[in-house]
Structure 1
Amino acid sequence: MPTHILKLHTFALSTIAVAMLTACGGGGGGSGGGSAKTGFLSGTVIDGYIEGAKVCLDVNSNGACDTGEPTATTDSGGKYKLDTGSISTSGLTVIAEIPDTAKDSDDNGLTLLAAGKSAYTMAAPATESSVVTPITTLIVGKVKTDNLSAATAKGRVLEELGLASDTNPYEDHVAAGNSIVQGTARQLAAQLQQAQKNLPAGTTPQERLAKLQEAVKAMQDAAGSVALKSQDADPLNLPLTLSTVATGSLFAYKMPSAMGKQINATAMLFTPKSVPPPGGWPLVVFGHGTVGVAQSCAPSVTMKATGNWEYASVVASLLSQGMVVVAPDYEGMGSSAMGVEAGHPYLDLGSAGRSMALAAVGAKKLMTTQLSGAWATMGHSQGGHAALAGAQFAGLAKKQEPSLNYKGAIAIAPASNLQMSLNTMWSGIQASSLNPASYATGYNAVEISNFYAAYVVKGTQSTPAPLTPSDVFGARMLAVYNAKVGTECFSSFSSSVSTSVGQYAVTNGATPAGYTGFINAAINATNVTRVLNSNEPGQMKLPGNTLIVQGSADTTVLPSSTRALLATMQSKGSQVTLSYHDSVAATHGGVLAVPAAQAAVTNHLNSMFTAH
């Protein structure tokens, strides 16, 4: 969101070991909470609905569909029915072997292979077989690899995925319209596909599920571990505002990407130039606003090159108050020398949440007892969205580093309700086109809305649910998108959008609504709505105490969008307060300098870190 205009280790398993790993009921609790069934088992295989999957009841508990076991193939709606006869399902697993010739309903009739996906295997407890999904696969896996009861495994999985504790993983989330679970399932499917693709050549079908589960566990266990610490004598080139109060370092930590790979992500770590207090400093994970989506736009990269950072004074203030700050660059942004690979999933909730939460884990592992363990998230604009996403993944942070104790969030002008904002802007653009005196206001909204939309669409290209740019943009904005969005950072790209709009505005008969930019109907299409809704923050009860700061003169994150976010969070039972500032100075970036907003932030931090 703009800040002013807007080798895996594998091992051979004996037949007995395989059976032990793949038999449901590890940990003394079984794989499912239901009772044993006989006769028939039916259900649905879902990422989207999967057609052409081979489904079986794994009677011999070897993790594969073998001759003689009850087997079926899913239809176009992902449905299957197994004739289990007199076989008791207690302690057994339903396996779904999904070849690359299968079709996912999310892919508009394409096979997995044609959609750029690959074969993978999923599972569900036979006693909870109404759906077989990536989430049920993780639950089965945790029962086996972590020796947990089914109930405990379910709770752990939901927590690590940033899902509400009352989420029913055995529900058809597509039919229920649960966009958050849909988005999570898509990313997990990508992780399962990637893990299966990476299995050693010669892996037999009977070994596949067990090794797949071990691979996923290895990735999960590594999340938040420090991969690399920069040995550069001056890794950040701190601006004076920061160098007077802090020392800075740069490190890379492991995290799962939105596409299911294990990647390096970078974060800047700022430590006060003082002695740690008894018990250690509290930690703030700070999320930056939009800087672009190119790898080179990362704050750690641009600050090293220029000695400047627009959030230097904000972060310096936190350090002056006795807090350590870690600031992630986010997934896909940062130096290739630190092992970062390009591909930033802009405003992707899971990616942002993991970037923030696992940066806290990395910081704690580096600083150990110098940090108290108390931590909070804070951010502006895109970073406000990340702060709320980080709260959602606080459970993951604690699982990876038990000494971490999450306190709450500060979200300043947080990106939210993107579809609502774009629709509101479009209505304003149409209205302004009726009166030449309002054209300037209309063209400003055209620039802001197209800037937003371009980064959102580009961000989806690094996720399992990419949007097609030509479906979303008209000719003029599509030309800018294709030429500029993936290479230009914030200022340059905003200028490119402005130039395109300006060139149009001087043509005969031009009106703001006539600019061939984002297509409003496309923004409201089912596939776009599904993507946008799955990345909305605050749709579950968040831990800790949240403060939202909003300015009345913000034309980038609209006050109406923030009020809708507030209402959603309150309806979910989150402890949340709005600090609203009615002033012409309280613009998108200006609100950061409003004294009353600064006081609200300071008071909230003090209340979080002094509370027992």
Structure 2
Amino acid sequence: MRFKHPKRAWTTGLIALLTLTASGAGTAASAVADGTMNHGSATPGPVVSNRNAGPGQLLKSERLPKTLWLPNTAKAYRIHYGSTSHDGRRIAVSGAVFIPRGNAPKAGWPVVSWAHGTVGVADVCANSRSGRSQRDTEFLQSWLAAGYAIVATDYEGLGTHGEHAYLNGNSEAYGVIDIVRAAQQLHEPLSEAWLSVGQSQGAQATLFTGATVRRYAPELDYRGSVGTAPTTQWRLTASVAKPFDPETPANPSVLLILAGLRTTHPDFDPAGYLTPFGQQLLAAAMDTTCFTAIAQQLAGRPSTDVFAVDAAEEARLLDLLESDAEIPIVRHSDPVFLGQGTADLTSYPPATALTAEKLRAVGNDVTFKFYQGADHGGVMAAAKADILAWAADRMR
């Protein structure tokens, strides 16, 4: 059955949700924010930089502090590993590895490479240092309880040298893939079979992973891509959300998009798209302030307080976003599962449905499900049983 999602209703709901998020209202904030509960409270420790490291080379491992462990964890590591940047350079990326309790199967623990949602672009936002939201924790502990090891990249430039290439799909995919390679060097009983699983920004990352993995890492035993509430179909979503209209509340994600484009396109200067207040916020976001704190600072402010974007500039932004971030409609060698909540006011539900249809049209094995009444964050819990069952079938 085709889902009907009126544009006017979604736009009205989005405005209301962004207003609540910016004021720090509990559940509304968690519905949009994909990051940790303690944004910006952690001080990053020493990081590793090795420009000569091969993709997936384990550079450093240490015990993850128990305060950052997920439930159902037997052992956990913080690691640094070699990967590839958005522009093809060799870089170091950080992340975490969680080993489940119990005895490993004969072939080793199957692996989930977790791709997290939006947390921010500053080093202090890296999940391997600042922890994870209750929503993500509850979702991930279910994978551990089901007998999966979890490897969780921080992505390029989060917790390591350089800047975060926010929403650059190739960069995200490389981080998701290379942490699987690196974890195999920890001498833990890990299976060679693995899946990529992600939410929001991370769902976009998993779809780029599925499109990339056979070319980038043909030696790996990849079994499929799982995503909930992916960021996709930018022009369609922008036509509904109207992020730069004077009556639209300022959207903190747009600020992070500008930061990401500055990283991936050296000739792009976000200052011209921002008011003086917006420029101050961007500087803070690049240094110390994570997503939730940015949203709180935008409490009650209209878009025009932060952004100064005309029609031509918006068109250029969309061109750059499509170049960096639009999910590629290509043939995957492995199945795809996509879940989308009907009450999601962050990822536009018809946009997710359209991407699923396009992926099917080029010959992909796509399982796509709407979850009635689930919002942006709630879709993870709503879809969890279906996802775990789908994953079990892939791992046989």
Q: Does 1:252 align with 2:77?
A: no
**Which aligned pairs between 1:159-170 and structure 2 lie closer than 5 A?**
none
| Distance in 1 (alpha carbons) for counterparts of 2:143 and 2:55 | 27
What amino acid is the match of 2:336?
A: T
Q: Which runs of 5+ in 1 are unaligned?
A: 7-217, 335-339, 434-441, 502-511
Q: Which runs of 5+ in 2 are unaligned?
A: 1-28, 34-50
Q: Could you say if the C-alpha distance between residues 424 and 476 of structure 1 is closer, same or farther in structure 2, counting changes exceeding 3 Å?
A: farther
Structure-2 residue corresponding to 1:409: 225
Q: Could you say if the C-alpha distance between residues 267 and 514 of structure 1 is closer, same or farther in structure 2, counting changes exceeding 3 Å?
A: closer
CA contact (8 A) 2:94 2:153 kept: yes
| 1:464 Cα deviation after fit | 3.8
Q: Could you say if the C-alpha distance between residues 364 and 484 of structure 1 is closer, same or farther in structure 2, counting changes exceeding 3 Å?
A: closer
**Which aligned pairs between 1:88-487 and structure 2 lie closer than 5 A?**
222-230=54-62, 232=63, 234-235=64-65, 237-239=67-69, 242-303=70-131, 310-334=135-159, 340-367=160-187, 370-396=189-215, 398-399=217-218, 402=219, 404-426=220-242, 443=248, 446-447=249-250, 450-474=251-275, 477-484=278-285, 486-487=287-288
Q: Could you say if the C-alpha distance between residues 466 and 410 of structure 1 is closer, same or farther in structure 2, counting changes exceeding 3 Å?
A: farther
Deviations 1:268-287 (A, max 9, x none): 11111111111112111001
| 1:482 Cα deviation after fit | 4.1
| Distance in 2 (alpha carbons) for counterparts of 1:286 and 1:262 | 22
Identity of aligned residues (%): 25
| 1:524 Cα deviation after fit | 4.0
CA contact (8 A) 1:460 1:466 kept: no
**383, 387, 396: which one pairs with 1:601?**
387
Q: TM-score, normalised by structure 2?
A: 0.80
Q: Secondary structure at the match of 1:374?
A: strand
What amino acid is the match of 2:387?
A: V
Deviations 1:343-379 (A, max 9, x none): 10000011001000111111123246x2221111001
| Distance in 2 (alpha carbons) for counterparts of 1:223 and 1:396 | 13
What amino acid is the match of 1:301?
A: R
Q: Could you say if the C-alpha distance between residues 418 and 476 of structure 1 is closer, same or farther in structure 2, counting changes exceeding 3 Å?
A: farther
Deviations 1:190-229 (A, max 9, x none): xxxxxxxxxxxxxxxxxxxxxxxxxxxx95x811010111
| 1:397 Cα deviation after fit | 5.3
Q: Could you say if the C-alpha distance between residues 523 and 417 of structure 1 is closer, same or farther in structure 2, counting changes exceeding 3 Å?
A: farther
| 1:476 Cα deviation after fit | 5.0
| Distance in 2 (alpha carbons) for counterparts of 1:276 and 1:578 | 31
Structure-2 residue corresponding to 1:115: none
Larger Rg computed on CA atoms: 1
Q: Could you say if the C-alpha distance between residues 530 and 513 of structure 1 is closer, same or farther in structure 2, counting changes exceeding 3 Å?
A: closer
Q: Could you say if the C-alpha distance between residues 423 and 274 of structure 1 is closer, same or farther in structure 2, counting changes exceeding 3 Å?
A: same
| Distance in 2 (alpha carbons) for counterparts of 1:602 and 1:298 | 26
CA contact (8 A) 1:472 1:522 kept: no
Q: Secondary structure at the match of 1:525?
A: helix
Q: TM-score, normalised by structure 1?
A: 0.53
**Which aligned pairs between 1:554-565 and structure 2 lie closer than 5 A?**
554-565=344-355
Q: Does 1:552 align with 2:342?
A: yes
Structure-1 residue corresponding to 2:293: 492
| Distance in 1 (alpha carbons) for counterparts of 2:75 and 2:168 | 31
| 1:519 Cα deviation after fit | 2.4
What amino acid is the match of 1:270?
A: F
Structure-1 residue corresponding to 2:21: none
CA contact (8 A) 2:169 2:205 kept: yes
| 1:498 Cα deviation after fit | 2.3
What amino acid is the match of 1:469?
A: P
What amino acid is the match of 1:320?
A: A
Larger mean Cα displacement after TM superposition, 418-427 or 452-461: 418-427
Q: Does 1:589 align with 2:343?
A: no
| Distance in 1 (alpha carbons) for counterparts of 2:273 and 2:239 | 14
What amino acid is the match of 1:341?
A: H
| Distance in 1 (alpha carbons) for counterparts of 2:366 and 2:90 | 34
| 1:457 Cα deviation after fit | 1.1
| 1:475 Cα deviation after fit | 5.4
Instruction: Give aligned pairs, total.
Output: 351
| Distance in 2 (alpha carbons) for counterparts of 1:452 and 1:460 | 12
| Distance in 2 (alpha carbons) for counterparts of 1:483 and 1:320 | 38
Deviations 1:28-51 (A, max 9, x none): xxxxxxxxxxxxxxxxxxxxxxxx
What amino acid is the match of 2:125?
A: C
What amino acid is the match of 2:282?
A: Y
Q: Could you say if the C-alpha distance between residues 276 and 301 of structure 1 is closer, same or farther in structure 2, counting changes exceeding 3 Å?
A: same
| 1:603 Cα deviation after fit | 1.6
| Distance in 1 (alpha carbons) for counterparts of 2:71 and 2:372 | 34
Q: Secondary structure at the match of 2:328?
A: coil
| 1:599 Cα deviation after fit | 1.9
**567, 576, 585: which one pairs with 2:357?**
567
Name which structure has the greater RCO, CA cutoff 8 Å, separation 6+.
2
| Distance in 1 (alpha carbons) for counterparts of 2:241 and 2:286 | 21
CA contact (8 A) 1:258 1:462 kept: no
| 1:294 Cα deviation after fit | 0.2
| 1:308 Cα deviation after fit | 6.2
Structure-2 residue corresponding to 1:19: none
Deviations 1:171-203 (A, max 9, x none): xxxxxxxxxxxxxxxxxxxxxxxxxxxxxxxxx
Structure-1 residue corresponding to 2:36: none
CA contact (8 A) 2:73 2:101 kept: yes
Q: Could you say if the C-alpha distance between residues 308 and 517 of structure 1 is closer, same or farther in structure 2, counting changes exceeding 3 Å?
A: closer
| Distance in 1 (alpha carbons) for counterparts of 2:175 and 2:182 | 10
CA contact (8 A) 1:357 1:396 kept: no
